[in-house]
């Protein structure tokens, strides 16, 4: 089933539904390509990786009524409001959860106890509809333990809403953890990206990997969210380009800014930036160094070259037992943010390095990319702002916790 026909099927189901019960909901899974169970094994770089696979070309999603959502959120009242996203306000409610992008957010439980979230598209957003459709068609098919799970859809009248599982522990940029927890989060993000790039039916490029798009469940497992800007390739395609530049300042690789080229190495670059943030506890929107003239990547590289890595790490991770692992993670992150995308490792290689600390050699990174220069910021794209927002109509930049 094509993306267009899949979305049309969901749309038609919604338009023909008079009233849909949200009690007793059951989300159906199926495996494709003849796999008899929910997991299978692959062997990249001699490493046995188990990937949970749930893909379905049949959009088996719950169709929600708008009246149910409206009632549960007290008519999207200001008392429920949490913040605003890239395309409106965000709300909170005691019975329902919603991510609404102009966009609103709510939190709570369905009558059956299921906690959910809903993303609502602005009625006036034309470009946002394309991202909405893109997110429906992608997230309905891609199911993995480290991806936020889409549950249903509502497209009554002019309303366009997506229903997701609710992530109670906010996003990654709200917390600092001990080293063991951070390692678990890093590995979970890696598994999610590995699935998108290698083990789904298509090669999926997220294009907005950042701390606020990594949500955390009750067990603090990371979940990649916000697929409105995601692109997919067939397995024999390597890269593409676009004239419409989207992304978040500080996470966008140079080849995308300069030429509109994107590939799997786009997400590798963003992952590298995120990895530097996780091990340092630092924001990538600030300047560092003695003269405060270095961005996060420059600062990390300079300290690494001088053998002063410890100065970069989060002080709360001052533990001799983890120092070697931290240095290895720092070096891996610097490999991911190199200027030339061909020099960056694949996510398979990233996973292998993380899981085989002592047996896999790691290369010496070259000078990192400085993705946004003053000239490019003025002439190419307008994403260099004091506040770090995604440039798109589809993903949430939080003002308040999810």
pLDDT score, position 100: 36
Asked whether residue 121 is domain-assigned, the answer is yes
Asked if 267 and 384 sit in the same domain, the reply is yes
Asked if 239 and 367 sit in the same domain, the reply is yes
pLDDT exceeds cutoff 70 at 78: no
pLDDT score, position 368: 95
Given the residues 208, 226, 267, 393, the one annotated as active site: 208
pLDDT score, position 127: 54
Looking at 138, 165, 192, the residue that finishes a domain is 165
Asked whether residue 279 is domain-assigned, the answer is yes
Asked if 214 and 101 sit in the same domain, the reply is no
pLDDT exceeds cutoff 80 at 122: no
Distances (CA, A) of 397 to 113, 115, 190, 321, 390: 28, 21, 22, 36, 7
Residues 6+ apart with CB under 8 A from 160: 120, 121, 129, 132, 154
Asked if 206 and 348 sit in the same domain, the reply is yes
**Least confident range of 76-90, 147-161, 285-299:** 76-90
Strand, helix or coil at 27?
Answer: coil
Q: How far is CA 113 from the centre of its chain?
A: 26
Identify the burial level of 331 via C-beta atoms within 10 angstroms of its C-beta, where 0-12 means exposed, 13-18 middle and 19 or more buried.
Answer: middle
| Total number of domains constituting the chain | 2
Distance CA 36, CA 32 (A): 9
CATH of the domain at 230: 1.10.510.10
Between CA 387 and CA 49, with CA 196 as vertex, the angle to 5 degrees is 125
Asked if 249 and 203 sit in the same domain, the reply is yes
Looking at 130, 165, 200, the residue that finishes a domain is 165
Identify the band that residue 265 occupies on the pLDDT scale cut at 50, 70 and 90. very high
Read off the pTM.
Answer: 0.72
Q: Please state at what angle helix 179-194 crosses helix 323-336, rounded to 10 degrees.
A: 30
Strand, helix or coil at 219?
Answer: coil
Distance CA 138, CA 140 (A): 5
Identify the band that residue 298 occupies on the pLDDT scale cut at 50, 70 and 90. very high
Beta bridge partners of 231: 205
pLDDT score, position 251: 94
pLDDT score, position 224: 96
- Other C-beta atoms lying within 10 Å of the C-beta of residue 267: 26
Distance CA 16, CA 273 (A): 45
pLDDT exceeds cutoff 80 at 95: no
Residue scoring higher pLDDT (302 or 6): 302
Asked if 272 and 126 sit in the same domain, the reply is no
pLDDT score, position 373: 41
> In percent, how much of the chain has pLDDT > 70?
64
Looking at 125, 143, 165, the residue that finishes a domain is 165
* Structural domain that includes position 71: 61-165
**Exposure b/e, 119-142, CB count within 10 A at least 16 = b:** bbbbeebeebeebbbbbbbbbbbb
- Catalytic status, residue 79: no
- Nearest Cα to Cα of residue 396 among 124, 176, 84: 84
Distances (CA, A) of 88 to 81, 326, 399: 11, 38, 11
CATH of the domain at 149: 3.30.200.20
Identify the burial level of 65 via C-beta atoms within 10 angstroms of its C-beta, where 0-12 means exposed, 13-18 middle and 19 or more buried.
Answer: middle
Asked if 156 and 207 sit in the same domain, the reply is no
pLDDT score, position 104: 59
pLDDT exceeds cutoff 60 at 28: no
Asked if 219 and 347 sit in the same domain, the reply is yes
Distance CA 239, CA 262 (A): 6
Mean pLDDT on 151-156: 83
């Amino acid at each position: 089933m094509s993306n267009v026909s899949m979305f049309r099927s969901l749309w038609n189901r919604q338009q023909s539904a008079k009233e849909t019960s949200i009690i007793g909901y059951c989300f159906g899974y199926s495996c494709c390509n003849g796999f008899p169970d929910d997991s299978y094994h692959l062997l990249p770089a001699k490493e046995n990786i188990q990937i949970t696979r749930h893909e379905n070309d049949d959009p088996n999603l719950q169709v929600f009524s708008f009246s149910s959502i409206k009632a549960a959120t007290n008519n999207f009242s200001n008392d429920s409001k949490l913040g605003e996203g890239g395309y409106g306000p965000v709300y909170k409610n005691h019975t329902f959860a919603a991510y609404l992008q102009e966009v609103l957010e709510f939190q709570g439980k369905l009558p059956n106890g299921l906690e959910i979230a809903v993303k609502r598209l602005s009625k006036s957003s034309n470009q946002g509809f394309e991202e909405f459709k893109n997110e429906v068609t992608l997230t309905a098919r891609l199911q993995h333990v480290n991806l936020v799970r889409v549950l249903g859809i509502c497209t009554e009248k002019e309303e366009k809403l997506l229903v997701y599982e609710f992530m109670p522990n906010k996003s990654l940029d709200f917390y600092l953890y001990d080293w063991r927890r951070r390692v678990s989060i890093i590995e979970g993000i890696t598994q999610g990206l590995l699935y998108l790039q290698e083990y789904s039916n298509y090669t999926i490029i997220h294009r907005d990997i950042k701390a606020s798009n990594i949500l955390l469940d009750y067990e603090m497992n990371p979940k990649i969210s916000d697929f409105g800007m995601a692109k997919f390739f067939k397995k024999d395609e390597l890269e593409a380009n676009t004239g419409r530049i989207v992304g978040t300042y500080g996470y966008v690789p140079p080849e995308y800014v300069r030429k509109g080229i994107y590939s799997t190495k786009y997400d590798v670059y963003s992952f590298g930036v995120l990895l530097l943030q996780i091990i340092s506890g630092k924001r990538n929107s600030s300047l560092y160094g003695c003269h405060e003239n270095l961005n996060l990547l420059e600062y990390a590289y300079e300290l690494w070259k001088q053998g002063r890595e410890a100065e970069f790490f989060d002080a709360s991770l001052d533990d001799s037992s983890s120092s070697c692992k931290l240095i290895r993670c720092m070096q891996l992150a610097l490999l991911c943010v190199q200027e030339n995308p061909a020099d960056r490792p694949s996510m398979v290689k990233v996973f292998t390095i993380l899981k085989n600390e002592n047996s896999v050699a790691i290369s010496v990174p070259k000078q990192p990319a400085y993705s946004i220069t003053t000239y490019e910021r003025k002439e190419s794209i307008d994403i260099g702002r004091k506040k770090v927002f995604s440039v798109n109509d589809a993903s949430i930049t939080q003002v308040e916790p999810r």
